[in-house]
């Protein structure tokens, strides 16, 4: 069995910069000072190499900047701007960010797509977001959803898949996730981002809500299988943590990098939980 070599600070490439920090969003809903304190502590931790960018809503940019001025970070904060003010608010938000380059390093801009993902709207996204910033667009699941995913990819953006939420309809089925992976992995050079409810490594039922949550390790293994012609649905449905971990560990360095070129990152309200799960499975 070939093990992947160390990534940043000893992190295997399959997990490097995998987990973006969405502490400001449900179910965490952390206050800005606490969210930033925890984020910077994670950046100094043993598993800092697993941590991706900090997510912040456009509507909370002034609050973010105020807190960063107090913190005085040594380096600008790598972050993703979540557009909650409509597409028309993007230029102003980006202008604010660019005026505070000593505090903020804009890595990506994420936004929901309208119900009809049309060409004109996608062109405006491309015009508003600087070329060196990743554009992430979330088409709504429903009729024509996969056509929207294809259009997003064709316009050079990453599609985003929402894997859960606070209501049952927010959780896509195994078939829907598999179909999404088929579209993205079948598009040359395409990457995607996942969000919501990927709290744990492995698929499980939440004892409080009864909702069945997808696991981020399931999604990684399913991505690997989608690239190699394997059983994608089987990987998404599996609750066998050890088998999934063994399959992940067995990926060559080249295969692990190909998986992460496809499945770029996912947003998690807690950084500690995914790291703990990876540690328990011997993946870190």
Contact 140, 111 (CB under 8 A): no
Q: What is the pTM of this model?
A: 0.94
DSSP state of 256: H
Take residue 149 and report the two structure tokens written for it: 């995913």
pLDDT for the residue numbered 7: 52
Listed residue (188, 281, 283, 179) closest to 236, CA to CA: 179
The pLDDT value given to residue 269: 92
Nearest to 52 by CA among 95, 110, 97, 94: 110
In this predicted model, what pLDDT tens digit does every residue of 165-196 receive, in sequence order? 888 899 999 999 999 999 999 999 999 999 99
- d(C-alpha 119, C-alpha 121), whole Å: 6
- In this prediction, residue 197 carries a pLDDT of 87
**pLDDT tops 60 at residue 4:** no
Rounded to whole angstroms, the Cα distance separating 57 from 60 reads: 5
Q: Which residues contact 186 (CB under 8 A, 6 or more apart)?
A: none
* 20 has pLDDT over 70: yes
Q: CA-CA distances (angstroms) from residue 82 to 28, 129, 200, 209?
A: 16, 12, 23, 27
Contact 282/201 with Cβ under 8 angstroms? no
Rounded to a whole number of angstroms, the CA Rg of the chain reads 18
The Cα 101–Cα 246 span in angstroms is 42
Residue 193 pairs in a beta bridge with 160, 265
Residue 166: per-residue pLDDT:
87
Q: What is the pLDDT of residues 198-256, one digit of tens each?
A: 989 999 999 989 999 999 999 999 999 999 999 999 999 999 999 999 999 999 999 99
Alpha helix ranges (H) inside the chain:
32-43, 61-71, 90-98, 119-128, 145-154, 174-185, 216-228, 232-237, 241-249, 253-262, 272-280
């Amino acid at each position: 069995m070939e093990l992947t070599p160390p990534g940043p600070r000893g992190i295997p490439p399959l997990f490097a910069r995998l987990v973006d920090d969405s502490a400001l969003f449900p179910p965490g809903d952390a206050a800005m000072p606490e969210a930033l304190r925890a984020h910077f502590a994670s950046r100094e931790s043993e598993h800092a190499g697993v941590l991706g960018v900090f997510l912040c809503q456009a509507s909370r940019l002034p609050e973010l900047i105020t807190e960063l001025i107090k913190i005085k970070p040594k380096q600008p904060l790598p972050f993703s701007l979540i557009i909650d003010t409509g597409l028309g608010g993007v230029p102003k938000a980006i202008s604010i960010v660019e005026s505070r380059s000593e505090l903020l390093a804009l890595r990506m801009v994420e936004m929901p797509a309208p119900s009809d993902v049309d060409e004109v709207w996608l062109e405006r996204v491309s015009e508003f977001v600087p070329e060196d910033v990743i554009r992430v667009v979330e088409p709504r699941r429903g009729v024509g959803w996969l056509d929207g995913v294809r259009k997003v990819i064709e316009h050079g953006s990453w599609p985003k898949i929402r894997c859960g939420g606070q209501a049952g309809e927010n959780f896509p089925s195994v078939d829907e996730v598999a179909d999404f992976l088929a579209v993205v992995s079948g598009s040359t050079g395409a990457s995607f981002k996942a969000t919501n409810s990927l709290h744990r490594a492995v698929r499980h039922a939440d004892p409080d809500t009864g909702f069945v949550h997808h696991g981020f390790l399931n999604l990684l293994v399913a991505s690997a299988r989608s690239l190699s012609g394997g059983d994608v649905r089987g990987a998404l449905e599996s609750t066998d943590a050890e088998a999934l971990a063994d399959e992940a560990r067995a990926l060559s360095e080249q295969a692990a990098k190909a998986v992460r070129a496809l499945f770029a990152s996912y947003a998690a309200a807690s950084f500690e939980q995914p790291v703990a799960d990876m540690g328990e499975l011997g993946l870190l």
